[in-house]
């Protein structure tokens, strides 16, 4: 009888991805406003940031503030200016002025992407750009290690991001100016790739009134990376001296594997006569079923501000639009909080935010609240922090833990295997024998090593194979009468014994 030879495996398992967002616990926005969202009720926390529109912030996986920016300036967690943190190429009057993306496979460095205001009309700088914040510098408070690296241009004020289908890399999207191009850059552990260009939908550009109003407004990908929504304002100049505008809401499908957009559907929201409509904010419910859009303007000479809801499960999502909120002052950016509530910026120095408290529910049941959170002095403006679903990356695989093995007879070959269960990457393998697959067969005792090579890291381990004393002989076959007993023994000195009865002793009856 031979002892069974164990199959050598090393399972590399990852913790499930969850959508808790402690990285978004601290918001700074408006004219000195801030909120701590780690408390049961949002707590006002005044800060140094001042912006007409866009801003962004990030905390660590424990919800501790790291840094924040209005696209021009960067502040650290002590609310002080970060070294080299001024003069960034974003703009405080850009709808989505800035966005922070952690570097894959790097817990200390972050990309800070920025957009210009109205395609550079005010600053003369019309390109998308990025800087790199390194939190290992300045005693752990961070430093802007690289600044103002140019990407595409000219671009609008739109800027959003979502995970690649591999769950690790990140797509960062801009929209061109003077064309209908969506620009998708892929952020990986090796840098920034792309862009992947999708040309469809609205083509914003200078209008007959020499206005860049078409650059204004937000776009957003749902957290699963299936759909993108973009809101536009289109100026209409029917005759010299007259002016009006309408709102376009584009709904598109997104391919998170390829970075491409398709299946354009557009809701055109018209006024009448000289009505001036201005689309601005956009946000998804956590599941991606419901979409919310803010629309402000002058209708029949009177100020009007509305919040719309679209149902992506409806046969025609465009036709599903309903108004779920209204009132003055105007509604600006919509932004999800870690608990799923959608907060809405209010204009004209309002000292409060509106909110949608149950965004998965259809129509009025979504729970629109006109004045949901008081800011305790500082004022809201157009913007709230531009966030995307930066839930923690799955932790890197544990070190390989391939157990040593002892066999009695290696003449038939011993299988050494490293089954890979990582959902993000297909690794390369290298064994000490020269093998390059996930398993090898060996016939001799010895110490073997294997390397599992990932794009930005290599895992290694060694395994020792020992060959024992060969087969265990129990003697000739025997015949016994019913009721009689016989003792079977393998002798002494064996490390492990397993009988067909399940016993593990040296002898059985």
Q: What is the rounded average pLDDT for all residues in the chain?
A: 86
Q: Which CATH superfamily is domain 1-17+394-471 in?
A: Immunoglobulins (2.60.40.10)
Boundaries of every domain in the chain: 1-17+394-471, 22-374, 477-509
Same fold, 1-17+394-471 and 22-374: no
Percentage of the chain surpassing pLDDT 70? 85
Q: 5-9, 16-20, 80-84 — which one is most confidently predicted on average?
A: 80-84
Strand intervals (E) in 200-284: 219-221, 227-236, 244-255, 260-269, 276-284
Q: Kindly tell me if the per-residue pLDDT of 470 is higher than 90.
A: no
- Given a cut of 50, whether residue 130 has pLDDT beyond it is yes
**Entry pTM:** 0.79
* CATH for 22-374 (2.130.10, 1.20.120, 1.10.357, 3.30.160): 2.130.10
What is d(CA 16, CA 234) in angstroms, rounded to the nearest whole number?
43
252-309 confidence digits (pLDDT tens): 999 999 999 999 999 999 887 778 889 999 999 999 999 999 999 876 667 789 999 9
The pLDDT > 90 percentage for the chain reads: 60
pLDDT, average across residues 476-499: 74
pLDDT at 392 over 50: yes
pLDDT of residue 239: 57
pLDDT category of residue 128 using cuts at 50, 70 and 90: very high
Q: What pLDDT score does 505 carry?
A: 83
What CA–CA distance (Å, rounded) separates 133 from 219? 24
- Length of the chain in terms of residues written: 509
Q: How far apart are CA 417 and CA 303, in angstroms?
A: 69
- The band of 16, judged by pLDDT with boundaries at 50, 70 and 90, is very low
* Cα 473 from Cα 453, distance rounded (Å): 44
């Amino acid at each position: 009888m031979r002892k069974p030879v164990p199959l050598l495996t090393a399972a590399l398992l990852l913790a499930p991805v969850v959508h808790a967002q402690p990285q978004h616990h601290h918001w700074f926005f408006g004219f000195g406003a801030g909120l701590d969202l780690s408390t049961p009720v949002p707590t006002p926390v005044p800060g140094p940031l001042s912006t007409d529109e866009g801003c962004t912030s990030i905390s660590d996986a424990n919800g501790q503030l790291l840094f924040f920016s209005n696209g021009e300036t960067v502040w650290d967690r002590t609310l002080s200016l970060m070294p080299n943190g001024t003069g960034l190429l974003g703009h405080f009057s850009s709808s989505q002025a800035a966005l922070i993306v952690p570097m894959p496979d790097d817990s200390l460095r972050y990309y800070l992407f920025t957009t210009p205001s109205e395609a550079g009309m005010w600053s003369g700088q019309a390109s998308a750009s990025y800087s790199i914040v390194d939190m290992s510098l300045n005693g752990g408070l961070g430093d802007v290690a690289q600044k103002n690296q140019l990407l595409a241009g000219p671009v609008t004020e739109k800027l959003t991001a979502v995970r690649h289908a591999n769950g690790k890399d990140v797509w960062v999207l801009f929209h061109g100016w003077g064309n209908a191009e969506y620009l998708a850059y892929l952020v990986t552990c090796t840098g920034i790739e792309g862009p992947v260009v999708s040309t469809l939908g609205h083509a914003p550009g200078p209008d007959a009134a020499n206005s860049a109003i078409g650059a204004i407004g937000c776009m957003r990908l749902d957290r699963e990376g299936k759909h993108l929504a973009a809101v536009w304002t289109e100026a209409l100049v029917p005759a010299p001296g007259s002016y009006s505008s309408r709102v376009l809401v584009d709904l598109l499908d997104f391919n998170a594997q390829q970075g491409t957009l398709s299946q354009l559907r557009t809701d055109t929201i018209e006024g009448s006569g000289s009505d001036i409509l201005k689309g601005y904010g956009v946000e998804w419910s956590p599941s991606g079923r419901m979409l919310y859009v803010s629309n402000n303007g002058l209708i029949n000479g009177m100020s009007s501000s509305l919040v719309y809801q679209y149902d992506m499960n409806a046969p025609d999502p465009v036709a599903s639009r309903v108004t779920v909120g209204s009132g003055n002052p105007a509604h600006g950016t919509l932004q999800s909080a870690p608990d799923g509530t959608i907060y809405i910026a209010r204009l004209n120095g309002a000292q409060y935010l509106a909110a949608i408290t149950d965004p998965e529910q259809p129509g009025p049941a979504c729970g629109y609240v006109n004045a949901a959170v008081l800011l305790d002095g500082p004022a809201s403006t157009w913007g709230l922090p531009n966030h995307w679903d930066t839930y923690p990356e799955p932790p890197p695989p544990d070190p390989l833990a391939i157990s040593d093995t002892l066999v009695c007879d290696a003449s038939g070959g011993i299988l050494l295997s490293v089954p890979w269960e990582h959902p993000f990457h297909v690794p390369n393998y290298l064994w000490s024998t020269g093998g390059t697959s996930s398993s090898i067969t060996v016939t001799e005792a010895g110490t073997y090593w294997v390397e599992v090579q990932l794009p930005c890291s290599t895992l290694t381990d060694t395994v020792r194979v020992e060959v024992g004393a060969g087969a265990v002989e129990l003697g000739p076959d025997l015949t016994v009468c019913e009721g009689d007993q016989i003792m079977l023994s393998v002798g002494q000195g064996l490390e492990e014994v397993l009988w067909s009865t399940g016993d593990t002793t040296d002898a059985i009856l």
